[in-house]
Amino acid sequence: MSALRSVADLVCSAVAVSGGLLLLWAGLGHARTFDRLRATLLVHGLLLRRGHRAGAAALVAVEVGVGGAVVGGALSSLRRTSAMPSRLVFPAMVGEALVYAGFLTYLAVLRRTRPDAPCGCLRDDGPVRAPVLVRAGFFAAAAAAAAGLSAGPAPFVESLTGTTRLASVSVLVPALVLAVLTALVPPSFGATTASPAVAQAAPVGAHADPSFVHPPARTTSFRRQ
């Protein structure tokens, strides 16, 4: 039973850390294409018209801050003598759970009120689809579970195998693989081209530097004509 619990803890922790990696990745990409992010939030129409710039700045700060805290806590556990994981990982995981829960709520409302609005999530510029909501809920649940694990008497990943360094590698490697796969595989087979509404709302030159978060508009579309 304890072996099964250890495996479950390992999987949950790896998924939660991969969620942190995705937050950091998305935050850095949104920072590079800030005008496009601002235009996307403007098209969503869920924020005050004058609040989309502040909302975009807050989103970037939250993604980079929370994602960096999760990744930093996991990396610091590679040091056997470090007490950082037990102090940092719990609030970082709580923050990650809240961020993804917020994403889930926001995108669910957006899908209901503006079903054709662009998502702006990672590599997808198409409308919000069910896999996007499932992904947000999945990472929110994993982070919440990992927060509960990290609140125990043993330091975060050390409780998984009894060896901090081995456990850290066991978490970080699959977390990195899962994060890359999640970021590279689009949530749907629909077009990932830029929304015309976003193109109109974005300032001139906002698309001059395409990033990995928002691909160029020439991406091949599989949507039925």
Residue 131: predicted pLDDT? 87
Where does the pLDDT of residue 210 fall: very low under 50, low under 70, confident under 90, or very high at 90 and above?
Answer: very low
Report whether pLDDT(207) > 80.
Answer: no
Q: What is the pLDDT of residues 189-203, one digit of tens each?
A: 333 344 555 555 555
Q: What is the pLDDT of residues 109-167, one digit of tens each?
A: 999 999 998 888 876 678 888 988 999 999 999 888 888 776 654 444 444 434 444 45
CA atoms within 13 A on the CB side of 138: 16
Q: What is the pLDDT of residues 57-116, one digit of tens each?
A: 999 999 999 999 888 877 776 554 444 455 677 888 899 999 999 999 999 999 999 999
Question: What is the percent of the chain where pLDDT is above 70?
Answer: 57
Q: Which amino acid is at 200?
A: Q
Count of residues in the chain: 225
Residue 28: predicted pLDDT? 92
How many C-beta atoms surround the C-beta of residue 80 within 10 A? Answer: 10
Question: What does pTM read for this prediction?
Answer: 0.73
Q: What is the pLDDT of residues 29-52, one digit of tens each?
A: 999 999 999 999 999 988 877 788
Element (H, E) at 54: helix 52-76
Nearest by Cα to 16 from 184, 121, 146, 104: 146
